[in-house]
């Protein structure tokens, strides 16, 4: 499932991000790459252990914790500390699949990357190109979102970033280990949860809601690795 999460960051938060990122020192993006993707990647990043990335990353983790949509879609077990990249004119990231296992830089636990996330941090009108192109069974999905919006997609997907032809694309990217490893099972739980939310608004006293909510929790209990 590829899911658009609107307004993860509000205008005030975004202004803080844009100010901090404009002042920050950016380095060659291959600092975080695996062997193969180092040949595909051409961009810049905030240093992973730098104060800016830590502070901004913490703000993103707090925004994720406030988002019921993120929780329902990702059923997160661990979130890798958010990283930040910048693509200027001519920069690109060719087709790749993200590394399966990452070690958390502080807690030194291993995180299996079940979901990949990109949080867009600048106005899409301010640059040309830079679409995130994700290949799935329905073909290539092209994603270019308003600043503050995020996309979640299965980390198993082949994806790339189209070359920038004007301006600068700035985004945060990170990975999530889910309590539900399998994308199809996670998608099913998300669809069920969204249907229960709609029914709760439309027919709050319907007895079937108790049954459906029970089915949700019993499926979660059956499949989750909490």
Beta strands in the chain (DSSP E): 3-5, 27-28, 41-42, 44-45, 76-79, 83-87, 92-96, 101-103, 110-112, 115-120, 128-129, 132-136, 139-143, 150-154, 158-161, 164-166, 169-178
Q: Can residue 183 be called a binding residue for Ni ion (CB under 5 A)?
A: no
**Binding letters toward Ni ion, positions 92-111, x by CB under 5 A:** ------x-------------
- Token pair belonging to 162: 């189209």
Least Å distance, CB 164 to Ni ion, is 16
Q: Which of 43, 45, 115 is nearest to 78 (CA)?
A: 115
Least Å distance, CB 92 to Ni ion, is 12
Question: How far apart are alpha carbons 207 and 53 in whole angstroms?
Answer: 48
Least Å distance, CB 10 to Ni ion, is 26
Q: Can residue 149 be called a binding residue for Ni ion (CB under 5 A)?
A: no
Q: Can residue 131 be called a binding residue for Ni ion (CB under 5 A)?
A: no
Closer residue to Ni ion in complex, CB, 72/157: 157
Least Å distance, CB 104 to Ni ion, is 18
Q: Can residue 44 be called a binding residue for Ni ion (CB under 5 A)?
A: no
Give me the residues that bind Ni ion (CB under 5 A), please: 98
């Amino acid at each position: 499932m590829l899911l658009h999460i609107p307004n993860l960051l509000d205008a005030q938060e975004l202004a803080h991000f844009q100010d901090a990122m404009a002042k920050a020192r950016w380095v060659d993006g291959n600092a975080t790459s695996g062997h193969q993707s180092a040949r595909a990647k051409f961009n810049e990043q905030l240093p992973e252990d730098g104060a800016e990335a830590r502070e901004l990353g913490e703000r993103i983790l707090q925004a994720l914790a406030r988002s019921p949509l993120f929780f329902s879609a990702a059923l997160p077990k661990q979130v890798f500390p958010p990283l930040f990249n910048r693509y200027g004119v001519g920069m690109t990231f060719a087709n790749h699949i993200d590394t399966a296992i990452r070690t958390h830089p502080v807690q030194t636990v291993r995180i299996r990357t079940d979901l990949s996330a990109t949080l867009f941090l600048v106005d899409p009108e301010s640059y040309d190109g830079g679409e995130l192109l994700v290949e799935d069974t329905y073909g290539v999905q092209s994603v270019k979102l308003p600043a503050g919006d995020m996309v979640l997609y299965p980390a198993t997907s082949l994806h790339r970033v189209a070359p920038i032809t004007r301006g600068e694309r700035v985004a945060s990217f990170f990975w999530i280990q889910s309590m539900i490893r399998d994308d199809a099972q996670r998608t099913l739980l998300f669809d069920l949860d969204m249907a229960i939310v709609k029914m709760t608004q439309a027919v709050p006293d319907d007895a079937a809601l108790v049954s459906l909510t029970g089915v949700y929790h019993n499926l979660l209990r059956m499949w989750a690795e909490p």
